[in-house]
């Protein structure tokens, strides 16, 4: 579809003190990448038009919504991790936006300052701010970081010199005293958001925000279980795209759109519409998050005729598998319920992390996949080392398994393509 364009908003970018000529080139490149990866797919659901439009408006339309919210005194908070309790931001009338970190384009800017041998997601995100080439980064009131991995927690100190960066301590274990500390951190986060918003969050505010976020997560769970149908009614690329858009779209509108898409997918299943076709080899991906516009593994797997039916990832099931208890009342109990929900996320930065090993096997069974591709970003020590336990569990369960460690550069694509094709041939037999 040559008519696709990510729309330019130079006046908005100028007002945000961005490097406009450079950003405009990135816009054109991302538009081309998107058109190639998504718009040529056969048999896309009609409801994907909304999500295509969210990409067309990613550099302007949604940014303007954020700026309008700021003009009303509502806080806009940038995040990099699914451990940040979004409900608190929503309850204060604010907006939580996952910041960009999935592009090779900003990595060289980061490498002028940060060491080269750290995770590409951290470098990409940092480079976007250092080079002033992300409107979201420019628009936020502050960034909320966390102490999950070494690369992130040390980068926050440097990032703080460019944009206010506050850090939430996420413990590394899940013993009762760790959970007690975590709960205190959630309370501090509420106080921080209240001070920026200039309002006190009431129980009603928080209860409403919990419902909004639970509904969003329910819609994503519904989409995920439709993808598990065999044959699946939607491509893995489109599934991943929606999971990525979840981090910057307005939650109520997004939930409605995901539910409309799911209605269409229900109908497709009734009519036996299969994407890419009946008998396509089914693959599950596990591992590190794939931030926009990281579509590398999905492009390779689906380019070879297979389909990805599940992402065990923070841009995937770790973001939406757990809900907050909606039945509790009283601010302290509600904040404890939030902590309870967030502690269920099984990131590899925890030790021990046995829950994740069983979760990967469970999602493999639920998704009716034929094999697992475990994906880790280069230099992510915790996911790279946890790979050993995932591999052992797959061996024990007889699950076909492949591990990929990669970054955002195109250099390893040829080699990965050969490996992916050999794996698909082995599991598709
Ligand atoms: S809860 S996975 S979003 S920390 S940045 S850990 S890839 S070296 S992103 Fe994450 Fe929160 Fe955990 Fe999820 Fe590794 Fe890179 Fe660190 Fe990363």
Question: How many folded domains does the chain comprise?
Answer: 2
**In this structure, is residue 93 part of a structural domain?**
yes
Q: Is the CB of 289 under 6 A from ligand 1?
A: yes
The reported pLDDT for the residue numbered 291 is 96
In a domain, 337, yes or no: no
What atom of ligand 1 comes closest to residue 377's alpha carbon?
7
Which distant-in-sequence residues (6+ apart) come within 8 Å of 403 by Cβ? 373, 374, 375, 376, 387, 391
> What is the Cα–Cα distance from 324 to 29, expressed in whole angstroms?
39
* Residue 213 and residue 174 share a domain: no
- Choosing from 135, 158, 178, the residue where a domain stops is 178
Q: Based on the fold, state whether residues 238 and 278 are members of the same structural domain.
A: yes
For residue 319, how far is its CA from the centre of ligand 1 (angstroms)? 12
Which of 139, 162, 178 terminates a domain? The answer is 178
Top mutation candidate among 121, 243, 341, 350 for ligand 1, by most atoms within 8 Å of CB:
121
Flag whether 381 is in a domain: yes
CA of 103 to the centre of ligand 1 (A): 16
Measure 81 CA to ligand 1 centroid, in angstroms: 7
- Position 2 scores a pLDDT of 53
Do 152 and 272 belong to one domain?
Answer: no
DSSP characters over 347-387: -TTSSS-HHHHHHHHHHHHHHT-SEEEEEEETT-HHHHHHH
Same domain, 173 and 227: no
User: Is 26 in the same domain as 136?
Assistant: yes
pLDDT mean over 154-166? 97
Quick one: average pLDDT of 128-145?
96
pLDDT digits (tens, 9 = 90+) for 269-280: 999 999 999 999
CATH number of domain containing 387: 3.40.50.11900
Residues 6+ apart with CB under 8 A from 283: 236, 301, 306, 307, 308, 309, 369, 370, 371, 372, 373, 424, 427
What's the rounded Cα separation, in Å, for the pair 110 and 222?
38
293 Cα–ligand 1 center, Å:
16
Judge if the beta carbon of residue 219 lies within 6 A of ligand 1. no
CATH assignment at residue 54 = 3.40.50.11890
Indicate if 107 and 168 belong to the same structural domain: yes
Look at residue 189 and tell me if it is in a domain.
no
As a whole number, the mean pLDDT across the chain is 97
Same domain, 390 and 257: yes
- One domain, residues 234 and 91: no
What residues pair up with 97 in beta bridges, in sequence order? 78
Residue 340 lies in a domain: no
Find, among 149, 177, 180, the residue nearest to 384 by Cα: 149
Tens of pLDDT along 237-294? 999 999 999 999 999 999 999 999 999 999 999 999 999 999 999 999 999 999 999 9
The residue nearest atom 15 of ligand 1, judged by CA position, is: 119
Q: Which atom of ligand 1 is nearest to the CA of 382?
A: 14
Residue 150 Cα, ligand 1 centroid: separation in angstroms? 10
Length, in residues, of the chain: 429
Looking at residue 100, what is its pLDDT?
A: 87
Per-residue pLDDT band at 144 (split at 50, 70, 90) = very high
The percent of residues in the chain predicted with pLDDT above 70, rounded, is 100
Span 60-73, mean pLDDT?
96
Q: 81 and 227 in one domain? A: no
Question: With 90 as the cut, is the pLDDT of residue 416 above it?
Answer: yes
Residue 184 falls inside a structural domain: no
Dihedral (Cα; 385, 388, 391, 392), 10-degree rounding: -150
pLDDT of residue 3: 75
**Is residue 333 domain-resident?**
no
DSSP state of 399: -
pLDDT higher than 70, residue 1: no
| 87 and 16 part of one domain | yes
Instruction: Reply yes or no: is the peptide bond before residue 65 cis, omega within 30 of 0.
Output: no
Interacting residues of 253 by C-beta distance below 8 A, sequence separation 6+: none
Give the domain extent around 86: 10-178
Q: What is the pLDDT of residues 12-42, one digit of tens each?
A: 999 999 999 999 999 999 999 999 999 999 9
Which of the listed residues 140, 158, 178 is the one where a domain comes to its end? Answer: 178
């Amino acid at each position: 579809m040559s008519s696709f364009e990510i729309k330019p908003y130079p006046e908005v970018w100028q007002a945000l003190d961005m490097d406009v000529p450079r950003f405009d080139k990135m816009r054109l490149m991302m538009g081309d990448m998107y058109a190639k990866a998504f718009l040529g797919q056969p048999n896309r659901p009609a409801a994907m038009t909304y999500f295509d439009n969210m990409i067309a408006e990613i550099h302007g339309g949604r940014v303007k919504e954020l700026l309008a919210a700021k003009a009303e005194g509502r806080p806009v908070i940038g995040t990099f991790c699914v451990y940040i309790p979004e409900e608190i931001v929503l309850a204060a009338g604010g907006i939580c936006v996952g910041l960009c970190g999935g592009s090779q384009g900003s990595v060289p800017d980061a490498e002028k300052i940060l060491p080269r041998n750290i995770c590409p997601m951290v470098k990409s995100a940092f480079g976007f701010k250092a080079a002033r080439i992300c409107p979201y980064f420019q628009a936020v009131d502050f960034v909320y970081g966390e102490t999950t991995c070494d690369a992130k927690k040390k980068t926050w100190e440097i990032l703080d010199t460019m944009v206010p960066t506050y850090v939430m301590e996420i413990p590394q274990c899940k013993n009762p005293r760790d959970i007690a500390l975590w709960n205190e951190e959630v309370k501090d986060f509420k106080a921080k958001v209240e001070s920026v918003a200039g309002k006190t969050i009431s129980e009603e505010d928080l209860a409403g925000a919990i419902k909004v976020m639970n509904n969003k997560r329910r819609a994503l769970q519904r989409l995920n279980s439709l993808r598990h149908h065999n044959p699946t009614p939607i491509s893995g690329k489109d599934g991943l795209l929606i999971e990525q858009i979840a981090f910057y779209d307005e939650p109520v509108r997004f939930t409605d759109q995901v539910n409309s898409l799911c209605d269409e997918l229900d109908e497709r299943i009734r009519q036996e519409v299969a994407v890419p076709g009946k008998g396509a080899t089914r693959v599950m991906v596990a591992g590190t998050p794939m931030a926009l516009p990281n579509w590398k593994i999905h492009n390779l797997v689906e380019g070879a005729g297979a389909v990805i039916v599940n992402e065990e990832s923070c841009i995937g099931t770790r973001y939406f598998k757990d809900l907050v208890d909606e039945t509790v009342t009283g601010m302290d109990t509600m904040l404890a319920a939030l902590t309870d929900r967030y502690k269920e996320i099984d990131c590899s930065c925890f030790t021990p992390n046995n829950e994740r090993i069983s979760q990967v096997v469970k999602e493999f069974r639920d998704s009716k996949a034929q094999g697992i591709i475990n994906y880790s970003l280069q230099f992510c020590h915790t996911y790279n080392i946890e790979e050993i336990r995932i591999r052992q569990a797959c061996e024990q369960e007889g699950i076909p398994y492949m591990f990929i460690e990669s970054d955002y550069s195109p250099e390893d694509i040829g080699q990965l393509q050969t490996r992916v094709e050999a794996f698909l041939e082995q599991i598709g037999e």
